[in-house]
Structure 1
Amino acid sequence: MSDKVVTKPGRDTRWNRILYGFWRVVIGLTLRVYTRGTVEGRENLPDGAFVLAPVHRSYIDTPISTWVQVRRMRYLGKDSMWKWERLGKMFTAMGAIPVSRGSIDREALKRCIDVLTSGQPLVLFPEGERKDGPTVHPLMDGAAFLAAKAGVPLVPVGIAGSDRAMPRKAKFVFPRKVHVIVGEPFMVDTDGRGRASRAQLGAATERLRTEIQALYDRALDRIS
């Protein structure tokens, strides 16, 4: 068995869309029925490419994010998932993009920009790894950077209840209510050529944190 890491970003081919749609039904929609999942704010999603930026409280936030639209979206995943070539091809077909954690992965950033400039939406959890509690933690500026570089909107998202449905160290999903709210998109200020200053990225990231917090608070109210 090959231990080669597959690094191709994967095009939005018909086969990829079919495979993504299959797993979206098998995992995403099954999970939605099981958790009585509800979504509001779908009308806020832009046409074309965008960076979807949800709060992150559980492993199931990734399949939950597929609820917001039928169209294939792309995700970042640990590069170790691509250790075996056949599995790597499947993950890529389903929309995942390999990234090395713990360092600045410039190749992954390039793949993300390629995905966005080709018109595909990208899901990126700006808190990084899973966090705990009702307060949105300080965000990394990667979401703002990619949105600025590709010239696409940032879309904040609140997901409430996923940490109850699958808490840390849980081995299975509990039938707990999950509610998702999609916020209004906004653009990152740039110089017009996809270049944002450190101050502009910081301002966009702080705005994103504020809006995710407001959406998360509203979503928590819906399940309380």
Structure 2
Amino acid sequence: VQGLHHIPEDQSYCIIANHQGGFDIPLLVGYMPRSVGFIAKKELRYVPLLSTWMKAVNCIFIDRSNRRAAAASIDQAVEQIKRGKPLVIFPEGTRSRGPEMNPFKSGSLKVPIRSEALIIPVTIDGSYLMKEANGGLLQPASVTLTVHQPVETAGFKDEQTQELAQLLQQTIGSALSGAGPSAKH
């Protein structure tokens, strides 16, 4: 883990990270200095045990197929961050299952903008090697988490989410060993 000193102790923040594989969440939970919740697809709300844990760590479930419900989830996430409870957002929207990133969905960045929280960009490099690269079989792998310098959201508007998404994708991509700053298309 590199750059943990970039995470503030006394400020609201939102972690924006790439999403390579199924072990990204346990890695972030294990290595971040404060307890973090996640924005997760609503289907995970119904997975026994996992859903209980997710609710305990203040995850926000989002229905990506229902705009009104998704907007309510965004409002809930904004309020949670304002109360000082950090959230992790994977703006790719799903796992890339490899070293490259999927394009970032700019709408996911409305949460840190509206909450006026710091964005902490985090690169997860190599987690897909633990499972996704092996046909689902678990295997040890070397994984690096890089915590980048915070990005201020003050002054950003909802209309600038695409610009912010590009900046964050470049920042996060700069620490990927296999893909560089580019994304899958």
TM-score class normalised by the smaller sequence:
0.7 to 0.9
Kept in 2, the 8 Å contact 1:153–1:187? The answer is: yes
Gaps of 5+ in 2: 181-185
Q: How many residue pairs are counted as aligned between the two chains?
A: 177
Answer with 1 or 2: which has the greater Rg: 1
Deviations 1:37-92 (A, max 9, x none): xx110001123321111111101111111233232111122323334898745431
Deviation per residue, 1:139-180 (Å, 9 max, x gap): 111342111100111111111111111116744421111111
Letter in 2 for 1:205: A
Match of 1:45 in 2: 7
Assess, with a 3 A threshold, how the Cα gap between structure 1 residues 92 and 163 changes in structure 2: closer, same or farther. Answer: same
How many percent of aligned residue pairs carry the same amino acid?
A: 21
Deviation larger for 40-49 or 78-87: 78-87
Query: RMSD of the TM alignment (CA)?
Result: 2.6
Alpha-carbon offset, residue 96 of structure 1? 2.1
Cross-structure match for 1:182: 147
> Does the alignment pair 1:134 with 2:126?
no
Q: 1:84 to 1:61 in 2, by over 3 A?
A: closer
Partners in 2 of 1:86 and 1:212 — Cα distance? Answer: 31
Amino acid at match of 1:43: H
Q: Which has the higher contact order (CA 8 A, sep 6+)?
A: 2
* Structure 1 unpaired stretches of 5+: 1-38
Residue number among 55, 59, 63 corresponding to 1:92 in the alignment: 55
Kept after mapping to 2: 8 A contact 1:51/1:155: yes
Tell me which residue corresponds to 1:33: none
Q: Which amino acid is the alignment partner of residue 45 of structure 2?
A: W
TM (norm. structure 1) is 0.69
Q: Which amino acid aligns with 1:202?
A: Q
Distance, in Å, in 2 between the alignment partners of 1:127 and 1:86 is 25
Provide closer, same or farther for how the CA distance between residues 169 and 156 of structure 1 changes in structure 2, counting only shifts above 3 A: same
TM-score for the superposition, normalised by structure 2: 0.83
